Structure 1
Amino acid sequence: MSAAGDFVDSALRYEGDEYRADDVRERLGGGLDSYGASVGAVRGTIRDVGNRYRDLDHDAITALSSELWSAPVFERRLAAIVLLQTHVRRLGNADLTRIEGFLREASVEALASPLIDDVVRPLVGSLVGPARTRALSVLARWADDPDPRLRWAAQAATASA
């Protein structure tokens, strides 16, 4: 695990509470584990990552988001979304492939919704020229995908485009 990934994981575990973790597991179903960290703790941890690791470029941000997403833990996946949301201006149309994987694995609306509303929509909305054309072709493919989260993302992003 990278130093930044280890920092996030350790901070979220530290901020976690078993009572809250049980509640999150029950509310979300059996597909994800939980540390029991609050949404505020997740956001604060990502803010701290930005302060601690100031040299994070596009590749480091996307790699860290994948690293965080790799474990089926709600707070880690939410942290990946907050990281992408925080740096959405650095993302490009090529990042939709990574986001597509996240959407396919976002087993709960509590992850899919912020990923669509706070990452996909502003990302696509900020693109111009050939990058926008390529992104819209990805969204057209998503619109016909059997995965309802991808269809939802395509509809949301093209509605605001």
Structure 2
Amino acid sequence: MSAAGEFVDDTLQREASWYRAEDLRHRFGSGMQYYGASVGAVRGTVRDALRRHTGLTHDEVTALSSELWEVPVYERRLAAVVLLQSKVELLTNSDLTRMEGFVREAHLPTLVDPLAVDVVGPLVEGLAGQPRMRADTVLDRWAGDPDVWLRRASLIAPLRALKAGGGDWDAFVRRARIVADLSPGQGGGSDGGPDQEAMTTVLEAVAERRPELRPTFRGLGA
């Protein structure tokens, strides 16, 4: 394990709380382990790690994120997301492959949503030209994937940009149409699953802040 990875893991274990760990296990199930560190402790640990290890390159940041994610401990995986949030300006179009792997393994809104909204969304918004086209193609593919969490990520990724007055509304509608057209047997937009929740979240945010934007086909609605 890298020095930065050891620092993060050791610190999170020192922040452990058995009652928080039990609460997380009750909320999220036994599919992974829990230290019981608070969200604030996770964020503070990543901040301290970046102060100790300044000037991390793109490759070092992405390698550390994978190192933290590899062990199925909730707080380690949340730390990986916080790390990527903190260094999103270093990420490139090719990092969407890594993000896809994380989303496929996350299976929890508390990991998928910040990864999509605060990492994938800003990453894509910062691209232009051919890299942006490639990224849009990737998110379109996610929208039609059998994995409901990838579909959720594709829909909720532009939330920040759309709320702020930017974002690609047409791309969101295109992906929402792809999700809504999936058969119920695939967990598509009509069954109230995680992807439908993401669609509703975006539509409600847009209705409140940008009422000029309207869905353009039946089946896309909160």
The answer as to whether partners of 1:31 and 1:107 remain within 8 angstroms in 2 is no
- SS of the residue corresponding to residue 64 of structure 1 reads helix
In the alignment, the residues of structure 1 paired with residue 48 and residue 25 of structure 2 have an alpha-carbon distance, to the nearest angstrom, of 26
Q: Could you tell me which runs of 5 or more consecutive residues in structure 1 were left unpaired when the two chains were aligned.
A: none
Q: Structure 1 pair 110/157, CA: closer, same or farther in 2 (3 Å)?
A: closer
Pairing 1:107–2:107 present: yes
Aligned equivalent of 1:67: 67
User: How far is the alpha carbon of 1:107 from its aligned partner?
Assistant: 1.8
User: How far is the alpha carbon of 1:157 from its aligned partner?
Assistant: 3.3
Q: In the TM superposition, what are the counterparts of 1:16-27 in structure 2 within 5 Å?
A: 16-27=16-27
User: How far is the alpha carbon of 1:149 from its aligned partner?
Assistant: 1.2
Q: Could you tell me which runs of 5 or more consecutive residues in structure 2 were left unpaired when the two chains were aligned.
A: 169-222
In the alignment, the residues of structure 1 paired with residue 132 and residue 67 of structure 2 have an alpha-carbon distance, to the nearest angstrom, of 27
User: How far is the alpha carbon of 1:63 from its aligned partner?
Assistant: 0.3
Aligned equivalent of 1:7: 7
Aligned equivalent of 1:32: 32
The answer as to whether partners of 1:125 and 1:157 remain within 8 angstroms in 2 is no
For the aligned residue pairs, the C-alpha RMSD in angstroms reads 1.1
Aligned equivalent of 1:89: 89
Pairing 1:137–2:120 present: no
TM-score by length of structure 1 reads 0.96
Count of aligned pairs: 161
Q: Percent identity?
A: 58
Higher relative contact order (CA 8 A, sep 6+): 1
The answer as to whether partners of 1:25 and 1:34 remain within 8 angstroms in 2 is yes
Q: Which has the larger radius of gyration?
A: 2
User: How far is the alpha carbon of 1:59 from its aligned partner?
Assistant: 0.3
Query: Which of structure 1's runs of 4+ aligned residues deviate more than 4 A?
Result: none
Q: Which moved more, 1:98-107 or 1:151-160?
A: 151-160
The answer as to whether partners of 1:35 and 1:73 remain within 8 angstroms in 2 is yes
Q: Structure 1 pair 157/19, CA: closer, same or farther in 2 (3 Å)?
A: closer
In the alignment, the residues of structure 2 paired with residue 7 and residue 78 of structure 1 have an alpha-carbon distance, to the nearest angstrom, of 15
Aligned equivalent of 1:153: 153
Structure 1 counterpart of 2:157, one-letter code: A
